[in-house]
Amino acid sequence: MPIATPEVYNEMLDRAKAGKFAYPAINVTSSQTLHAALRGFAEAESDGIIQISTGGAEFLGGQYNKDMVTGAVALAEFAHIVAAKYDITVALHTDHCPKDKLDGYVRPLLDISAERVKTGPGLSGVVRGRLRPPRRPRPSPPGTPGRTARRSTCRTRWRRGPS
């Protein structure tokens, strides 16, 4: 089943309230912990909630950039793809967020989420607008260790930042 839409998530919450139960919520920090959480939900035949903390999102954003928004969006995009293979419904959440991280983490995620609800699945225009092609590396001077005579080819990868 897919990731819960806002309407499906509201139904999940109504069902939990009426049945006087709570859905399990699991913090994830990688694709491995996401797979483990999904497997656990599936084996228990339970819908659930996947949460990502600011630290987990920062880690997923890359050790160099430590971009929480990029990390959270990357995990959410991955979750949409892999969760579709399970017979459960999963809601995506941020974990508890310190007040000093609201503007840099939660508010951008809310903007992206609102755009995604409007446009449907896939990378939203907001996300695409935040990404740009990488800078081309400068050529190494002749004689530099590691330089090869063969020209390497690479696919365009996207990264955040101003143009």
Structure tokens at 56: 């987990």
* 103 tagged catalytic: no
CA 33 to chain centre: 13
Annotated active-site residue in 14, 67, 95, 100: 95
In angstroms, the first-to-last Cα distance of the chain is 37
| DSSP codes joined into one string, 32-57 | HHHHHHHHHHHHHT--EEEEE-HHHH
Q: Which residues are catalytic?
A: 95
